[in-house]
Chains A and B, each alone.
Chain A
Amino acid sequence: DAMVIQNPRYQVTQFGKPVTLSCSQTLNHNVMYWYQQKSSQAPKLLFHYYDKDFNNEADTPDNFQSRRPNTSFCFLDIRSPGLGDAAMYLCATSRSPGLAGYNEQFFGPGTRLTVL
């Protein structure tokens, strides 16, 4: 089945120790997103790739970086995790919008990050 895969599902890191979360997709969608979701809150968009074009949200901290080496994979790098970065990180994909829209996003299961 076509899907969005995130690894690992649970990640524990230490304060200040760099961590990388990965996302892969078999949907062949050209847009990929990273969201941060804290407990009892809505997902917050960090950035997205439209093909190879990187689009950063204005309020995304510099501590968060992303790489998309090819269509299928996208990585979220947190250079120096703080306690406030503990959250669920969701990856999503979509086709680019057309005249009829068709831009629903498909989400992976998420990676729950714990910072000690």
Chain B
Amino acid sequence: AQKVTQAQTEISVVEKEDVTLDCVYETRDTTYYLFWYKQPPSGELVFLIRRNSFDEQNEISGRYSWNFQKSTSSFNFTITASQVVDSAVYFCALSGFNTGNQFYFGTGTSLTVIP
């Protein structure tokens, strides 16, 4: 079974604070892909990152960083020095190699950055 859990429903932080969004996944596939998407109030889901299961390197892109740990089945997302424009709903998603293009989304974390 494929499942993604985002335990944090809503988070509020003050601008310039760091914030980490948690994502825990379950899969029986040995090859799989993890994703993060941002959904601002406008509604469009914006692709942020894809990570392959065979690549556990963490990644940093500007103020965004991702920590992938297979040992704990987690793929956490950290925003450093948060800004108001980071306010959005963030979805973590899983796709298994054997399930083709099917995405399994978490329930999302709503982030509010307070100026």
User: Which residues of A are interface residues toward B (Cβ below 8 A)?
Assistant: 31, 33, 40-43, 45, 48, 50, 88, 90, 92, 94, 96-97, 100-101, 103-110, 112
Chain A's closest residue to B49 (CB) is A104
Chain A residues lying within 8 Å of B37, measured Cβ to Cβ, are 107
Supposing A97-B100, A101-B33, A105-B101 touch, asked if A90 and B45 sit within 8 A by C-beta, the answer is yes
**Among B12-20, B65-73, B74-82, B104-112, which stretch is in contact with chain A?**
B104-112
B44-A42 in contact (CB<8A): no
A42-B108 in contact (CB<8A): yes
A103-B101 in contact (CB<8A): yes
CB contacts between A and B, total, < 8 Å: 62
A107-B97 in contact (CB<8A): no
Supposing A42-B105, A104-B50 touch, asked if A50 and B33 sit within 8 A by C-beta, the answer is no
Chain B residues lying within 8 Å of A110, measured Cβ to Cβ, are 43-44
A16 to B105, CA, bound (A): 30
Range class of the B interface residue count = 20 to 34
A107-B91 in contact (CB<8A): no
Supposing A96-B101, A103-B33, A103-B95 touch, asked if A88 and B107 sit within 8 A by C-beta, the answer is no
- Among A92, A106, A107, which residue has the most Cβ atoms of chain B within 10 A? A107
Supposing A42-B91, A42-B108, A100-B52 touch, asked if A105 and B42 sit within 8 A by C-beta, the answer is no
A41 CB contact (under 8 Å) in B35, B47, B100, B107: B107
Chain A's closest residue to B89 (CB) is A40
A109 to B45, CA, bound (A): 7
Chain B residues lying within 8 Å of A40, measured Cβ to Cβ, are 108, 110
